[in-house]
Amino acid sequence: MMDGLGPPSAALAAVLPDPASKGVLDKVRVLDMSRLVAGNMLSLQLADFGADVIKVESPKAGDTLRHWKEALEHGGGLDAWWRTYARNKRSLAIELRDAGARSALRTLLESAHVLIESFRPGTLEAMGFSPEDLHMLNPRLVIVRISGWGQTGPYKNLPGFGSLVEGFSGYAHKHMAPEGVPQLPNMALADMIAGLTGAFATLAALREVEVNGGAGQVVDLSLLEPMLAVMGTDVSVYAATGEKKDPARKIASPRNAYRCKDGRWVALSGSTDVMARRVMEAIGRPELADDPRFSTNEARLENDAELDGMIADAVKEMSQDECLALFRRKGVTLGPVYDAPQLLADQHVVRRQCYIALDSDDGAVVMHNVTPRLSRTPGAIRRPAPGLGQHTGELLREAGVDEAEIQAMRARGAIR
């Protein structure tokens, strides 16, 4: 168990990088020119399963994600964002305003399979790397273009941070606080969903190239549209009926988080009639199952406040452990609401190694394990997150750039 941001317990799996590990995406080369979360989440999925992901960074500051640090009580900051989402990658620190550096990058692109970028639409073209030019250079290249709103449409040039998308998409409205204030998630939700969606799209485009003998293509990945895809049916209902869903209205009843007498919480989902009956039995009110007000989900939603209050009254008389034991014994789908210390101490999380402590020269950092789990070709952690420009020399040599030119670029500040 972790004490704040202190060291993990011995129960947490300690992992050393395994450079010899090969994944199912071995020999797939990815140049990631993106910044912050969505692109790094996308390329992390590919890197964890063996792709050679090269982070193309500014020699001066590097990827902005390097500077997202969590404040520590003893001073300084923990760069957990970078060390988690840049694992398994190599760093190429190169100044793209330098003609020689751009030429070296172009050489690397000749043998690449995927390019990821998150510039504002039109920036890649202004740099001399338009998709048309890139496909003349490398016809099989998959180009993933990440932006807030997409490469087309009237909003394409507007700033596209995830928080704006979480508001625009309806998420903040759907998660309205009791006092009527829209709530933004306290995490990079839109970016993470876009990253996962982008990883799928990248593999689909690679399959077209490798299996169907097709050409490379452009993946137009906005933060907005993957967010819309996970938002449920509110828009469908409005289009069909003209009615807007009340943000406070649930999709099923009983369903809520309830406070236990020890101050901890549990989450309950009784979304089927059978499960709702079990809930009523668990709180000592089995007769409610035959009450017309609670016999179907539709009826329960109409009378949710009353049912919710009865469940809350029952739960508040039990500790979290007592509540879990009772409801699980009754076969009810109820589970704990955890904070970080509880999560890391949970026996299931520990046994499955959902989190690991990745050791490196900078010390161990706790992070999520490779996901999902493949039975025959699992992913692995082959290297820790790179220092800025750590692999610049070796990558340029792999691209055939001669040593004299490398030294000349270094001398004029074009590489780090």
Separation between Cα atoms, residue 87 and residue 51, nearest integer Å: 12
Please give the structure tokens belonging to residue 229.
Answer: 């895809």
Bridge partners (DSSP) of residue 116 are: 32, 144
Please give the structure tokens belonging to residue 7.
Answer: 């060291």
Say whether 273 is catalytic. Answer: no
Separation between Cα atoms, residue 416 and residue 392, nearest integer Å: 7
Separation between Cα atoms, residue 185 and residue 194, nearest integer Å: 15
Judge contact between 396 and 104, C-beta under 8 A. yes
In Å, what is the CA distance from 340 to each residue of 16, 20, 83, 323, 345? 23, 32, 18, 20, 9
Strands (E) located in 153-228: 218-222
Sign, CA torsion 350/354/357/359: positive
In Å, what is the CA distance from 361 to each residue of 17, 185, 228, 383? 11, 33, 41, 11
Among 32, 48, 52, 191, the one annotated catalytic: 191
- H or E segment at 145? strand 142-147
Sign, CA torsion 257/258/259/260: negative
Name the residue among 315, 318, 374, 339 with its Cα closest to residue 21: 374
Separation between Cα atoms, residue 36 and residue 74, nearest integer Å: 26
Residue 288 DSSP code: G
Bridge partners (DSSP) of residue 145 are: 117, 220
Separation between Cα atoms, residue 155 and residue 161, nearest integer Å: 13
Bridge partners (DSSP) of residue 92 are: 56
Q: Catalytic residues, which ones?
A: 191
